[in-house]
Chains A and B, each alone.
Chain A
Amino acid sequence: MMTTEESARALQLTPDGQLRHFLTLDGLDQSLLTQILDTADSFIEVGERRIKKVPLLRGRTVVNLFFESSTRTRSTFELAAKRLSADVLNLDISTSATSKGESLSDTLLNLEAMASDMFVVRHSRSGAPHFIAESVTPGVAIINAGDGRHAHPTQAMLDMLTIRQHKQRFDGLKVAIVGDILHSRVARSQIRALNTLGAEEVRVIGPSTLLPRDVESLGCRVEYDLKAGLKDIDVIIMLRLQRERMEGALLPSEREFYKVYGLNTDKLAYAKPDAIVMHPGPINRGVEIESAVADGPQSVILNQVTNGIAIRMAVMSMAMSGQLAQRAATEAEARV
């Protein structure tokens, strides 16, 4: 029986170690993550040109398959695909097929008939992109744009790019992730990325009700107190708090959450003076973060958005080239 690592590696990489799907950061090593960051760096320059296009995905069809609605993530994926010269089809499945009772595998069969080269998938079920990657025709790349509570690997990588731009390195870095870890696919992918890239310490800070069981097993330390938890921290990542958490008796109120775990100027002072503040967005001002901090000099929240396009271009072009290499190898084998 394969471990999470082994099965993630087998599914995402070609036999010679190239990326062919991007579903999770599990099973991907430091050199591959660094390669993604370096590739993204080279695409940042494209965004600064007058003509913001490169022909890497020319003639390819990318389908944005969003089973859960999202404006920002979908737009940056769309922009990234267009900057790579791909044809883009946006499908908001949350309001169409599946609500008519069509199963995910039937939806897929229909979409495959359109000869797509890549699916960018967001789904409310953890593991849905894995399921799709296992069931699609070989040669089609799957990019995970967020699945359930499992993973949001492009978000985590754009966060890593942002950290690298500001801190230049990962070794020696101490990073705190604050808030609702339990429901957060972003946090799971960030913890993974930070461990793989060699960060010295990852701390998760939040109440027990918002921490998954045995969360330390992911490679982090738990702190319940925000001020104590921010000591010596270089990077603070605030997570978005969903309103429905109050319904499930996980939290008493937004007000109490803000009082205990909200980041304001006073609490920020407990971190290192040059600490940066990040947030995957959209932010809830006055719930998890004070406006003065969100808009303050230590905030890098808007850099994250810019980096999102570059990271998605990097991942899409790498996965496509992995798939093409594999298609070529399969065809060569068939000829022999």
Chain B
Amino acid sequence: MSAENPMIRIENARLLDPVSGKETQASVLVENGRISGIGAAADQATPDQIVDAAGAVLSPGFIDLYCNLREPGNGQKGSIATETRAAAKGGYTTVCAAPDSSPVNDSTAITHLILDVAERDSAIRVLPLGAATKGLAGEHLSDMVGLTTAGCVALSNGSAPLVNARVLRRCMAYARTFNVALMLQPQNRSLAADGFAHDGLITTRLGLMGIPEVAETAAVMEMILLAEETGVRLHLSQLSSARSVTMIAEAQQRGVSVTADVAIHHLLFTEAALAGFDSRFHVQPPLRSEADRLGLIEGVRTGVVSAIVSQHQPHDPAAKRAPLGDSEPGLSTIESVLSLGLMLVERDEMSLSQLLRALTVGPASVLGLSEPAIEVGAAADFCLIDPRAEWQPSEAALLSIGKHAPVLNQPLKGGVVSTWCEGRQVFPAKAS
């Protein structure tokens, strides 16, 4: 990151505190990568640069708990350079890099590689997630202490289910010893089998291989019981079922250390998205019923589900150009998360502060980071949001290599005007 640090004043923005929901209008002064003044103190300064943010909401920068950057190893699908640029466009200042790169991030060498490339190519913060087991194979524990010392913020099973309950239990117990957080995607492999869509109305109609809801809930229950026994900090990633939310809420009430997140597309779309065999909506876990969608939204509203993740999965076009069941799972979401979330706000399915909380404070607490806030002394990580701006995700407009965005070639309302990381504007990228 560059050494030059001009003093900047953001004027006329609406400052929204995601925790209290309180909104104020004031100027914000940025100096040396931190917020150095708000309101009168900011107005009295003589900055090098003034940004007029009239009409925009100023929110802490978004934090993504699960993002596939595809580096190392999958340059045709994305790189740290391309996907962090896309993330900055989405309002993100911090992204957690999924461990299922190639090779898998199960060694300090790979962790260092990711951090070195990020230092060189990324304008925003990249926090690697280490693989909980070697090669994500679910057989041998990875060097958890080594990985976290090298910079991994948590350990994850990526998108590979941990099949063996004994390994899972030991994984938790070992992680607990060193107070390492485990981020696990709950799915019972034998129940999911070769399915790729929610076992429900659409699979019945179209004859697709289904993944029953119980493939998730059985795994959630197993993981909660094991977490309760071992005392590990468990984070359940990318839920798809309303029933999971209920089970997690109960566990939280009895004091189990368990948090959860949901991918943005599970809040907007259902199994119906597959009605025309659209391979874009082949995602893992699958999009489920409308009742599930509503239950997941309720989870975000109540805070049982503390974070919304992008589950950004960029692909080369060929990966999706195939019959549904032969296509690779995942959507290119990171540039659309905010706009999609604002659709929920527009429909009164959640409030703006609930949305922003799940994109900032919620994920920060899962990672044990300091609470993101717009206050004097805080890191100047923020984005300016124009809820009325219209833009159209298209092949040309998307910065990600993945062009399979959930809403494509149709207008979306609400966008990120600019993103700032440590006081530097990272989107729109300034011509160097």
Same complex origin of A and B: yes
| Those of B258-284 within 8 Å (CB) of chain A | 269, 272-273, 275-277, 279
* A147 to B324 alpha-carbon distance, docked (Å): 12
In the complex, which residues of chain B have a beta carbon less than 8 angstroms from the beta carbon of A125?
323-326
Q: Tell me the minimal C-beta distance from A147 to chain B in angstroms.
A: 8
In the complex, which residues of chain B have a beta carbon less than 8 angstroms from the beta carbon of A130?
276-277, 323
* A93 to B273 alpha-carbon distance, docked (Å): 30
* A212 to B206 alpha-carbon distance, docked (Å): 11
The answer to whether A4 and B203 have CB atoms under 8 Å apart is no
In the complex, which residues of chain B have a beta carbon less than 8 angstroms from the beta carbon of A188?
205, 207
Q: How many residues of A contact B (CB 8 A)?
A: 33
| Those of B414-429 within 8 Å (CB) of chain A | none
Q: Given A105-B322, A125-B326, A148-B325, do A4 and B275 touch, yes or no (CB 8 Å)?
A: yes
| Those of B93-123 within 8 Å (CB) of chain A | none
In the complex, which residues of chain B have a beta carbon less than 8 angstroms from the beta carbon of A126?
206-208, 277, 323-325
The answer to whether A213 and B326 have CB atoms under 8 Å apart is no
* A8 to B205 alpha-carbon distance, docked (Å): 12
Please tell me if B210 contacts chain A, counting CB pairs below 8 Å. Answer: yes
Q: Tell me the minimal C-beta distance from A182 to chain B in angstroms.
A: 9
In the complex, which residues of chain B have a beta carbon less than 8 angstroms from the beta carbon of A103?
318, 321-322
Q: Tell me the minimal C-beta distance from B188 to chain A in angstroms.
A: 16
The answer to whether B205 and A213 have CB atoms under 8 Å apart is no
| Those of B181-231 within 8 Å (CB) of chain A | 199-210, 212
Which B-chain residue is minimally distant from A188 (CB atoms)? B207
The answer to whether A213 and B273 have CB atoms under 8 Å apart is no
The answer to whether B318 and A104 have CB atoms under 8 Å apart is no
* A149 to B209 alpha-carbon distance, docked (Å): 9
The answer to whether B273 and A1 have CB atoms under 8 Å apart is yes
**Cβ contact of B205, chosen from A2, A104, A128, A218, cutoff 8 A:** A218
In the complex, which residues of chain B have a beta carbon less than 8 angstroms from the beta carbon of A217?
201, 204-205
Q: Mark A96-118, 1 if CB is under 8 A from B, else 0.
A: 00000001110000000000000
* A2 to B202 alpha-carbon distance, docked (Å): 13
* A2 to B206 alpha-carbon distance, docked (Å): 14
| Those of A117-175 within 8 Å (CB) of chain B | 123, 125-128, 130-131, 135, 147-151
Please tell me if A185 contacts chain B, counting CB pairs below 8 Å. Answer: yes
Q: Given A127-B325, A131-B277, do A4 and B202 touch, yes or no (CB 8 Å)?
A: yes
In the complex, which residues of chain B have a beta carbon less than 8 angstroms from the beta carbon of A105?
318, 321-322
* A34 to B234 alpha-carbon distance, docked (Å): 59
**Cβ contact of A104, chosen from B201, B202, B277, B323, cutoff 8 A:** B323
Q: Tell me the minimal C-beta distance from B376 to chain A in angstroms.
A: 46
**Cβ contact of B207, chosen from A3, A11, A150, cutoff 8 A:** A150
Which A-chain residue is minimally distant from B324 (CB atoms)? A127
* A26 to B205 alpha-carbon distance, docked (Å): 9
Which B-chain residue is minimally distant from A132 (CB atoms)? B323
Q: Given A1-B272, A149-B207, A213-B200, do A104 and B322 touch, yes or no (CB 8 Å)?
A: yes
Please tell me if A7 contacts chain B, counting CB pairs below 8 Å. Answer: yes
The answer to whether A213 and B210 have CB atoms under 8 Å apart is yes
Please tell me if A215 contacts chain B, counting CB pairs below 8 Å. Answer: yes
The answer to whether B203 and A212 have CB atoms under 8 Å apart is yes
The answer to whether B204 and A218 have CB atoms under 8 Å apart is yes
Which B-chain residue is minimally distant from A123 (CB atoms)? B323
The answer to whether A7 and B323 have CB atoms under 8 Å apart is no
Please tell me if A214 contacts chain B, counting CB pairs below 8 Å. Answer: yes
The answer to whether A2 and B276 have CB atoms under 8 Å apart is yes
Q: Tell me the minimal C-beta distance from B393 to chain A in angstroms.
A: 16
The answer to whether B205 and A135 have CB atoms under 8 Å apart is no
Question: Which of B199, B202, B204 counts the most chain A CB atoms within 10 A?
Answer: B204
* A220 to B200 alpha-carbon distance, docked (Å): 16
The answer to whether A214 and B324 have CB atoms under 8 Å apart is no
* A135 to B327 alpha-carbon distance, docked (Å): 15
Q: Tell me the minimal C-beta distance from A310 to chain B in angstroms.
A: 26
Q: Tell me the minimal C-beta distance from A192 to chain B in angstroms.
A: 9
In the complex, which residues of chain A have a beta carbon less than 8 angstroms from the beta carbon of B318?
103, 105
Q: Tell me the minimal C-beta distance from B328 to chain A in angstroms.
A: 12
Q: Tell me the minimal C-beta distance from B325 to chain A in angstroms.
A: 5
| Those of B295-324 within 8 Å (CB) of chain A | 318, 321-324
* A8 to B275 alpha-carbon distance, docked (Å): 9
Q: Tell me the minimal C-beta distance from B286 to chain A in angstroms.
A: 13
**Cβ contact of B206, chosen from A4, A6, A213, cutoff 8 A:** A4
In the complex, which residues of chain A have a beta carbon less than 8 angstroms from the beta carbon of B208?
126-127, 148-150
| Those of A52-107 within 8 Å (CB) of chain B | 103-105
Q: Tell me the minimal C-beta distance from B268 to chain A in angstroms.
A: 10
26 CB-based A-B contacts, threshold 8 Å: A1-B275, A3-B275, A4-B206, A4-B275, A6-B275, A7-B275, A26-B205, A104-B326, A105-B318, A123-B323, A126-B206, A126-B324, A127-B206, A127-B277, A127-B324, A130-B323, A131-B277, A131-B324, A149-B207, A188-B205, A212-B204, A212-B210, A213-B203, A214-B200, A217-B201, A218-B204
Identify the 10 closest CB pairs spanning chains A and B, nearest first: A149-B207, A7-B276, A127-B277, A150-B207, A212-B204, A125-B323, A128-B323, A4-B275, A126-B207, A131-B323
Known: A3-B272, A213-B204. 17 other contacts (CB 8 A): A1-B275, A3-B275, A4-B205, A4-B276, A7-B276, A8-B276, A26-B205, A103-B321, A104-B326, A126-B206, A127-B206, A127-B323, A127-B325, A147-B207, A149-B207, A185-B207, A213-B200
